[in-house]
Amino acid sequence: MRILHTMLRVVDLTQSIDFYQNVLGMSLLRQRDNEQYRYTLAFLGYGDEACEAVIELTHNWDTTEYQLGDAYGHIAIGCDDIYKTCENISQAGGTITRPPGPVKGGTSEIAFIKDPDGYTIELIQNKR
């Protein structure tokens, strides 16, 4: 078994796809509309879905707002240079909510950002 994808409901699909492509560097792997049930699915990731877990963005056409709830934590993404990644995200207009640095009580270097819908994404420096 393996994790296939994580689904996030988004209000503005175009804005969300732009964020995941142009701020986080993911590729749009596939997208489809369901006219009957009025929703669109977009799958984005860093590699082929056959080998990599991806993000599924679900846009329900008639929904204009979501409550994120207090059970959601974050999605974690590894990066080779967390400081350069955060600099690039900031220059691309992304929101950094915790600048890169060591995790409290540990040695891992992390940062947190928000996507356009307010979902938290943790960036973790890859071990060398």
Section 29-44 average pLDDT: 97
Domain residue limits at 39: 5-60
Residue 128 has a pLDDT of 73
Is residue 108 included in any domain, yes or no? yes
Residues in CB range of 101: below 8 A, 6 or more apart: 109, 110, 111
Domain check: are 54 and 15 in the same one? Answer: yes
52 is catalytic: no
Residue 70 has a pLDDT of 83
Q: Residue 113 maps to which CATH number? A: 3.10.180.10
Is residue 100 included in any domain, yes or no? yes
35 — pLDDT class (breaks 50, 70, 90) = very high
What's the pLDDT tens digit per position in 5-32? 999 999 999 999 999 999 999 999 999 9
Domain check: are 54 and 82 in the same one? Answer: no
Section 82-93 average pLDDT: 96
88, 96 in Cβ contact below 8 A? no
Domain check: are 21 and 52 in the same one? Answer: yes
Is residue 67 included in any domain, yes or no? no
Domain check: are 88 and 120 in the same one? Answer: yes
pTM for this one?
0.90
**Residue among 49, 52, 109, 122 flagged as catalytic:** 122
Helix (H) or strand (E) holding 62: none
Indicate the length of the chain as a whole number. Answer: 128
Domain check: are 53 and 10 in the same one? Answer: yes
- Give the integer Cα–Cα distance in Å for 54 and 102: 27
Helix (H) or strand (E) holding 75: strand 75-79
Number of domains in the chain: 2
